[in-house]
Structure 1
């Protein structure tokens, strides 16, 4: 039997209520009475509209199913089908152009192109691994994958194989020739990377070369026995790790023990498709991990190969810039949180009449509340450097449902005391009525 507590006319699962009030809200500055009033306003003002739009889905689907059944076995007529879709309101007349302005958008969203991961936020270890995938070893990726074929004596193995290692080093040099071409010669022939008065020289035996684009060199760092050289290509960063004390560094003519790439720029921490969260206890587990990511203190302890390991968010990466000033780059991917769609309801929060409320309302309120910790942060690992919260909203059928999500998040912003448009919605283009009508 579920225990419920009354909050602003709502009946809230007692454990969920305790999580929100004793874990998620403290430190945000959010007034709890305002939070619950805002939730109740969502239910009262947008609950009926949600039900109407879900009924509209059913109406359209029934008409479309009937249209196809009546024409089973007949030749396809695209013109009449389009006319039919307009008649029933599936297609909406496009009457005007649209201009959108955005503010406070991080470059990972607005101007940089790079990989994106999706991971179930219910699994803390997976969530941390994905967040930390902002930087990855090219050497490891080449060595452990079929990018280098397992043939000719270069099979991948857990023990380091020098022959396969040589193939990795050669393949990485090919990449460097593409991303960081030299004015003369190839990285494969480099015997030394040398900094002279903050200018990079690449020694190729008896020849001294340089980058074709000297501006690609960004800075350097000393990490233990390694010298790290930082470069940039198409807005993404590349590290050359020079360390002749390692087995791989000794094998490389220039002492390059690794090539590290800026990789997963963004990660969707998923509360929806990859997560089976069916009751309040499940939802709390999901929200607690997201809260830890936003506070920066999520940690997962496990054992691997007989060793105790603690997985945490990666720290920022520090360098001395090419101009001599301190340069700091984020060590983590920018995280978005994927809420559930409009369809599902949850018994974790009931309305005054004891009916389940939309699960999307719960996700919107709690995931945004947790993200306020990141907005208020003055130290430690930060997610958005532009002061935004990024929510991926899936399975929206048509522009009216997108407008519903927009209205919902405006009310969430008000309940949390956030400026308008602090929350940015990623509209997942999963249903054709959305993609053809969104403008």
Structure 2
């Protein structure tokens, strides 16, 4: 294997090319500055691990966290596309949810000023307000009118309406179709209720094989995932199927302007186990570099590029955590 040489280290050729051609140009960091900095960081880590990793810290994940191996493109796409969940299919609502339960959910989170969503026969938008009409001809707005934020379709007969919880800022979309399987049975023609979540996605490097090509592919997957253009292509019986990350969704707000909801969730990138080494770099004695440092540096570079589109990103470890000194060392690369 041809490995370019640094002052004290050797580098995997594929990794060297990938970083120089695909990563550094997007970050504004000079090639020599980067390689000298990572060489020093690896040497410092080998000499004094405790200054980089806090072994006593335990990174706890919330129960609803979605974990996706970075090497598995399909799982990454599924995690990204689970930001919106049908109320009728969500695990938290149980099996066989009825119309009554869905209306109780609406009454709890988006109550009307008078009456219940269970008795609504039609929803219309009048100027900036959502109005619910009942069977006797009476009407009611929302108890908190500002919770109505957008719609799709005509105000007199919307295809969907979008509500936003005041406390969480999360959205709910009521989809109407009086000819649909569920909408035909619903008194208001509600076909579906889509609930937005803000569940964290953990992109996990722990399952990645440590050979060079697998690792580089994992980094490429992460790049595409952070850009939002990750996709898979499969061919079954001559038919091609493309699976993509969902785009942002756009509705019409109360003033007639576009109302865009981004398809982005909080992202945490879990670096490889501290005990693993990688063939990407070898020191002057031929010892393999710690994989956790390579992961931390490379993913930090990618996150730096992605910060403009999703600022809810961070690094973590399965056991322990990166110290402030470690993050300062990485930030010094950006400032050099």
- Same fold flag (TM > 0.5): yes
Q: Alignment partner of 2:27: what SS?
A: coil
| Counterparts of 2:30 and 2:158, CA distance in 1 | 49
Alignment of 1:140 onto 2:108 = no
Is 1:238–1:260's contact at 8 Å kept on the other side of the alignment? yes
Structure 1 residues 195-227: Cα deviation after superposition (integer angstroms, max 9, x where no partner): 11121111121121222222221222339x962
| Counterparts of 1:293 and 1:52, CA distance in 2 | 31
Matches within 5 A, 1:245-264: 245-264=179-198
Displacement, 1:194?
A: 1.0
Matches within 5 A, 1:167-206: 168-206=98-136
Structure 1 partner of 2:8: 9
* More displaced 10-residue stretch of structure 1: 263-272 or 121-130: 263-272
| Counterparts of 2:221 and 2:130, CA distance in 1 | 43
Displacement, 1:367?
A: 1.0
| Counterparts of 1:115 and 1:328, CA distance in 2 | 25
Is 1:139–1:169's contact at 8 Å kept on the other side of the alignment? no
Structure 1 residues 261-300: Cα deviation after superposition (integer angstroms, max 9, x where no partner): 012432111112xx14232222112211101112332211
Alignment of 1:383 onto 2:315 = no
Displacement, 1:306?
A: 8.5
Structure 2 partner of 1:242: 176
Is 1:25–1:370's contact at 8 Å kept on the other side of the alignment? no
Q: 1:139 to 1:8 in 2, by over 3 A?
A: farther
Structure 2 partner of 1:355: 287
Q: 1:262 to 1:276 in 2, by over 3 A?
A: same
Number of equivalences: 326
* Unaligned runs of at least 5 residues, structure 2: 57-61
Is 2:271–2:296's contact at 8 Å kept on the other side of the alignment? yes
Is 1:118–1:269's contact at 8 Å kept on the other side of the alignment? yes
Q: Alignment partner of 1:308: what SS?
A: strand
Is 2:177–2:189's contact at 8 Å kept on the other side of the alignment? yes
Q: 1:51 to 1:3 in 2, by over 3 A?
A: farther
Is 2:51–2:323's contact at 8 Å kept on the other side of the alignment? no
1:309 to 241, 263, 269: 241
Structure 1 partner of 2:223: 291
Q: 1:341 to 1:22 in 2, by over 3 A?
A: same
TM-score scaled by length of structure 1: 0.67
| Counterparts of 1:22 and 1:8, CA distance in 2 | 21
Structure 2 partner of 1:47: 46
* Structure with the largest fraction of helix: 1
Q: 1:368 to 1:177 in 2, by over 3 A?
A: same
* Structure with the largest fraction of strand: 2
Alignment of 1:331 onto 2:263 = yes
TM-score scaled by length of structure 2: 0.86
Q: Alignment partner of 1:129: what SS?
A: helix
Q: Alignment partner of 1:327: what SS?
A: strand
Matches within 5 A, 1:30-109: 30-50=29-49
Structure 2 partner of 1:79: none
1:269 to 203, 210, 215: 203
Structure 1 partner of 2:210: 278
Q: 1:292 to 1:177 in 2, by over 3 A?
A: same
Structure 1 partner of 2:59: none
